[in-house]
Amino acid sequence: DSEQPTYQRVLLKISGEALMGDAGYGLNPPTVERIAREVKSVHDLGVEICMVIGGGNIFRGLAGAAQGMERTTADYMGMLATVMNALAMQSALEAEGVYTRVISAIRMDEVAEPYIRRRAVRHLEKKRVCIFAAGTGNPYFTTDTAATLRANEMACEAIFKGTKVDGVYDKDPKKFPDAKRYETVTYDECLQKHLGVMDASAIALARDNSLPIIVFSLDEPGGFRGILAGQGTYTKVH
């Protein structure tokens, strides 16, 4: 078909929870496969794709720290959890015939490539989907910050943040039926009103580099490709 992609290179950020489907924990293979098919359909358009996947479905550093574990240790466990999710996504994408690389911010050479910026750029140019794992490699950060960092480093035109809701609302739409969705919202408004798009360091990093964040729902089938073409409902943070 004659569908022309508006973007050349993007980063898709999904939380670990997006992979658990209806389960309360871990990975739900049909959900991982569905997301892989959505990524493939965008990849088929020739768009270069980076991915960052969270780890909250397996381990969250803060929750571990709350139970008395040292924060940094708990955060490293969280980062390792993202590697498992990245490997699951790699496997699902390759089953769809999409070439991928898992690139880890923490060295584990038998499992994933180390992060070398120029090498990652080369993978993208060769149309391999780059799945960036282990967050930023540093405790006290989140995978949202990792997504913003990698999107800047890879010169992505935007971050697409797939969530359970179709954008950013002025209050929680699951609790308040009169919640209003923003069509667009500024970085500063997100920070001032604590809109919960991403954590503050991620938003500040996006703002300082004028990197748009597009928040959309992963639950709508065909969503990612449609959103890339500007269809469907979403919020653009700019």
Q: Using CB under 6 A as the criterion, which residues of the chain lie in contact with ligand UDP when the complex forms?
A: 15-17, 54-56, 60-62, 75, 78-79, 81-82, 135-136, 138-139, 141-146
**Shorter beta-carbon distance to ligand UDP: residue 122 or 174:** 174
Nearer to ligand UDP, 183 or 219 (CB): 219
Checking DSSP bridges between strand 234-237 and strand 213-217, what pairing results, if any?
Answer: antiparallel
* Closest to 90 measured CA to CA, from 27, 23, 149: 27
Question: Count of residues for the chain?
Answer: 238
Task: Confirm or deny that 55 is annotated as ligand binding.
Answer: yes
SS3 163: strand
16 is in an annotated binding site: yes
Q: Kindly tell me which of 184 and 209 has the beta carbon lying closer to ligand UDP.
A: 209
Q: 3-class SS at 2?
A: coil
5 in a labelled binding site: no
Q: Specify the residue, 15 or 100, whose C-beta has the smaller distance to ligand UDP.
A: 15
DSSP 24: S
**60 has binding-site annotation:** yes
- Distance, in Å, from the CA atom of 144 to the CA atom of 102, rounded to the nearest integer, reads 17
Gap between the Cα atoms of 109 and 194, Å rounded: 39
Residue 143 in marked binding region: yes
**Shortest separation between residue 84's beta carbon and ligand UDP, angstroms:** 11
Q: Which is nearer to ligand UDP, 202 or 211 (CB)?
A: 202
Identify the burial level of 183 via C-beta atoms within 10 angstroms of its C-beta, where 0-12 means exposed, 13-18 middle and 19 or more buried. Answer: exposed
| Shortest separation between residue 174's beta carbon and ligand UDP, angstroms | 17
Tokens matching residue 8 = 């050349």
CB of 52 to ligand UDP, least distance (A): 8
Does the annotation list 75 as a binding residue?
yes
- Residues making up the annotated binding site for ATP are 13-16, 56, 60, 163, 169, 172
- Residues making up the annotated binding site for UMP are 55, 75, 136-143
